[in-house]
Chain A
Amino acid sequence: MTVVDNPPTGSAAPAGMAGALASSKGAGADRAFRGLAVAAGVTVLVILALITFSTTSSAWPAFTKYGSSYFFSTDWRPNQKKFGIVGFAWGTAVISVIGVLLAVPTSIGIALFATEVAPRRLRRTITTVMDLLASVPSVVFGLVGFYVLRAPLQSLFRSIGDSVAGIPIARNVLGQGSSGISLLTAGIVLAIMITPIITSVSREVFNTVPRNDKEGALALGATRSEMITGVIIPHSLGGLTGAVMLGLGRAMGETIAVSLLIGASSSPQITANILGPSDAMPSAIARNLSEASGDFRAALIGLGVTLFVITMIINVGSRRMVSVIDRRIKGAA
């Protein structure tokens, strides 16, 4: 880090140092403080381990009892003790993909706008807008979607459904919209919710593009768009992948807004029909866990564990990606 560049600060620090000088014995105190700090650091690990262990062990009965049918079946009928989670995984996958597909171009556009196009004044506004968007709680998105967007979307979806009724493939994808709540609705709201995080990571990535390269391209006569596609994007590909994966992880774990807007099918199936209802893994847990007991509870917690593992993999992957970029940048500098 660029620690050395920082100008010497304030007058309070030397005062602190003088105080420190006054009592510089106390190796014991140092050892104690160090021990405390190490303990705190290790506590983070312990908590993560506890989360993993306790959720997995509560879900274990579901995994062992239902085995492969738990992970590879869409047959979810709690009243008949059938627990196949594929339908929920599908719902989660579809809305996350919709969310990412919509959010990525927008976020990258905003990030480029902020780093390359916008005047300095506007840049701070962009940051503020993104901060504001990021700070709107999930449940508020759900509230607005549920009360304000549902009715107009319902008539929109129905007219889409009517107009594609005769077209073979479109009929299957857009045909079933009967109320404003659907996979697409949830996906759009997810896109809004993950835009701030993808934007802020992308901005950081774009800021690491060496100035020389950019100016070199411009000096060679490239237009701004050519400079972006020729220099910035190739340089940032890895970092952008990390940003997208981070957004994907966020989208998959999003619970409340999705729960209100996805349609909450009780046994979601693998379907291409994005205007119809379905359900996602976290929202199924949110609605049912409080009341569930026995195998049903284990199966729901199993959904959580599965989600946990998937987001874990995605996150580790994206961190690796970002840290490799980090190292490369530092190496080049």
Chain B
Amino acid sequence: MKNRKGFAWLFALVAVVSLLAAACGSSNSDGGTTTTKAGGGDGTTTTAAPATDGLDALSGTLDGGGSSFQDTFQQQVSSDFGALVKTAGGDATVTYTKSGSSDGKKGLADKTLGFAGTDSPIKDEEKAAFGTRKMLYFPIAGGPIAVAYNLKGVDVLNLSPDTIAGIFQATITTWDDAAIKADNPDAKLPSTKITVVHRSDGSGTTSNFTKYLVAAAPTTWKLDKGETVAWPASTQGAEKSTGVTSVIAGTDGAVGYADLADAAKEDLSVANIGNAAGDFIAPTPDSASVALAGAKVADDLTYSPLNVDAKGAYPITAPTWMLVDAVQADQATADALKAYINYVLTTGQDQAKALLYAPLPADLATKALAQLDQITVG
């Protein structure tokens, strides 16, 4: 009697599990179709009719991943691209999974990814993993890193590099500090305590932000640069850019650094930053593009647009690349990759601005497009 009851339970369990499995199995195919539809619906802002030559011959899946900074851009562009290929009669999909720049590079090195999104060039310790393979950098956009804040009654705020350094090192602790007043002679600043919010996970944004401070405030900034730095103990950590912005949004008197797009999502105020030319510049796609144009670009198309000395350039501008193998395993993948990068560098640039990234300046985009020929099959 008892045994049978026991087995009955087991059978019931098995039945439930298999039912669930069946439900998931059937939802599978549905899920697949809904994605492409959603992609089609989103591609509304495309201005000119993009070239569709050769797209009908594309096939296969191109998996990319890495930098979370370019995630929003990649998701939008890859979804538009997929829809475009589909209308042209081709059958290629591009996916992008954010997991962090170093993880993306790792994935590309062991060939689990077809391309990597990265905010930084390959570091010395990462080189070994790539062996003798030739890698190509394709700059795809830039982005202003905003100093976002939440301070009642203050909509416009100017900050010079030394003041930013002071705030983020917790030597400036209230909003009516003399240094902040000096940058904003006309603003009415409350005596609210400053709550500094920084990234608690290792991040390219922190790396770029601190690199900027090292360059722009060399005497005041003591914390050096890196993907994680030793922020003062009184400061608050939060995960990811979006974590930082949501803590800022919920805390009066908070200030932190985040991609402009993430600051915009929470409707945060962003500070105008004093640049090398001596002006206070608001973070916008345009001012960041000026910074991109002013940066010195190396032969492999790596460059740093931080603290560029150019009129109207936003000083905390971050670069971002797609990293790919110069030699691809087969023709189909090479074709898909070339077509996608081509799309990103041309039509995709409109999307960049719409998503508050900085579009590439024309000459850099041209250089990147020219580099497409170096992708070969071998």
| Chains A and B directly touch (beta carbon < 8 Å) | yes
Interface residues of A (CB under 8 A from B): 9-12, 16, 75-80, 82, 87, 150-151, 154, 176, 178-179, 181, 259, 263-269, 271, 276-279, 287-288, 290-294, 296
Q: Which residue of A lies closest to B203 (CB)?
A: A291
Q: Which residue of A lies closest to B225 (CB)?
A: A79
Using known A-B contacts A267-B230, A290-B103, A294-B125, determine if residue A279 contacts B237 with beta carbons closer than 8 Å: yes
Asked if B229 and A293 make an inter-chain contact with CB atoms under 8 angstroms apart, the answer reads no
Q: B201: CB under 8 A from chain A?
A: yes
CA distance A181 to B102 in the complex (A): 29
CA distance A184 to B348 in the complex (A): 47
Asked if B3 and A77 make an inter-chain contact with CB atoms under 8 angstroms apart, the answer reads no
Partner of A266 from the list B2, B102, B231, B250 (CB cut-off 8 Å) is B231
Q: Which residue of A lies closest to B193 (CB)?
A: A178
CA distance A266 to B239 in the complex (A): 11
The 6 closest A-B pairs by CB, nearest first: A79-B226, A264-B237, A264-B200, A267-B230, A10-B2, A12-B3
Partner of B1 from the list A11, A154, A181, A276 (CB cut-off 8 Å) is A11
**Size of chain B's interface in residues, with CB distance under 8 A?**
38
Do most interface residues of chain B lie in helix, strand or loop, or is the interface mixed? Answer: loop
CA distance A150 to B210 in the complex (A): 28
CB distance from B243 to the nearest CB of A (A): 9
Asked if A154 and B251 make an inter-chain contact with CB atoms under 8 angstroms apart, the answer reads yes
Q: B234: CB under 8 A from chain A?
A: yes
Using known A-B contacts A178-B251, A178-B253, determine if residue A277 contacts B236 with beta carbons closer than 8 Å: yes
Residues of A within 8 A of B250 (CB): 150-151, 154, 179
Can you list 8 A-B pairs, Cβ within 8 angstroms, ordered by A?
Answer: A264-B237, A265-B235, A266-B198, A266-B237, A267-B230, A277-B237, A290-B103, A291-B102
Q: Which residue of A lies closest to B232 (CB)?
A: A267
Residues of A within 8 A of B225 (CB): 79
CA distance A293 to B125 in the complex (A): 9
Residues of A within 8 A of B247 (CB): 179, 181
Residues of A within 8 A of B266 (CB): none
CB distance from B269 to the nearest CB of A (A): 18
Using known A-B contacts A12-B4, A288-B202, A292-B202, determine if residue A77 contacts B229 with beta carbons closer than 8 Å: yes
Residues of B within 8 A of A277 (CB): 233-237
Instruction: List which B270-285 residues lie within 8 A (CB) of chain A.
Output: none
Asked if B1 and A265 make an inter-chain contact with CB atoms under 8 angstroms apart, the answer reads no
Asked if B229 and A266 make an inter-chain contact with CB atoms under 8 angstroms apart, the answer reads yes
CB distance from A2 to the nearest CB of B (A): 19
CA distance A79 to B227 in the complex (A): 7
CB distance from A174 to the nearest CB of B (A): 14
Residues of B within 8 A of A12 (CB): 1-4
Q: B208: CB under 8 A from chain A?
A: no
Asked if B233 and A291 make an inter-chain contact with CB atoms under 8 angstroms apart, the answer reads no
Residues of A within 8 A of B226 (CB): 78-80
Asked if A10 and B125 make an inter-chain contact with CB atoms under 8 angstroms apart, the answer reads no
CA distance A176 to B233 in the complex (A): 11
CB distance from A72 to the nearest CB of B (A): 17
Asked if B200 and A287 make an inter-chain contact with CB atoms under 8 angstroms apart, the answer reads yes
Asked if B2 and A263 make an inter-chain contact with CB atoms under 8 angstroms apart, the answer reads no
Residues of B within 8 A of A150 (CB): 250
Residues of B within 8 A of A16 (CB): 3
Residues of A within 8 A of B237 (CB): 263-266, 277, 279
Residues of A within 8 A of B99 (CB): 290
CA distance A259 to B102 in the complex (A): 22
Name the residue among A178, A266, A290, A294 with the largest chain B CB count within 10 angstroms.
A266
CA distance A332 to B48 in the complex (A): 89
Using known A-B contacts A176-B234, A179-B236, determine if residue A266 contacts B200 with beta carbons closer than 8 Å: yes
C-beta contact mask, B198-234 vs A, less than 8 Å → 1, else 0?
1011110000001000000000000011111111011
Q: Which residue of A lies closest to B129 (CB)?
A: A293
Residues of A within 8 A of B200 (CB): 264-266, 279, 287
Q: B254: CB under 8 A from chain A?
A: yes
Residues of B within 8 A of A269 (CB): 233
Asked if A76 and B234 make an inter-chain contact with CB atoms under 8 angstroms apart, the answer reads no
CB distance from A20 to the nearest CB of B (A): 14
CB distance from A139 to the nearest CB of B (A): 13
Q: B375: CB under 8 A from chain A?
A: no
Residues of A within 8 A of B224 (CB): 77, 79-80
Partner of B195 from the list A80, A87, A178 (CB cut-off 8 Å) is A178
CB distance from A261 to the nearest CB of B (A): 11
Q: Which residue of B lies closest to A80 (CB)?
A: B224
Extra contacts besides A12-B4, A266-B228 (6): CB < 8 Å: A87-B233, A179-B250, A264-B236, A265-B200, A291-B202, A294-B125
Q: B238: CB under 8 A from chain A?
A: yes
Q: Which residue of A lies closest to B3 (CB)?
A: A12
CB distance from B100 to the nearest CB of A (A): 5
Asked if A266 and B230 make an inter-chain contact with CB atoms under 8 angstroms apart, the answer reads yes
Residues of A within 8 A of B234 (CB): 176, 276-277
CB distance from B68 to the nearest CB of A (A): 10
CA distance A181 to B103 in the complex (A): 29
CB distance from B208 to the nearest CB of A (A): 13
Asked if A10 and B235 make an inter-chain contact with CB atoms under 8 angstroms apart, the answer reads no
Residues of A within 8 A of B4 (CB): 12
Q: Which residue of A lies closest to B226 (CB)?
A: A79
Asked if B227 and A291 make an inter-chain contact with CB atoms under 8 angstroms apart, the answer reads yes
CA distance A329 to B41 in the complex (A): 71
Q: Which residue of A lies closest to B106 (CB)?
A: A293
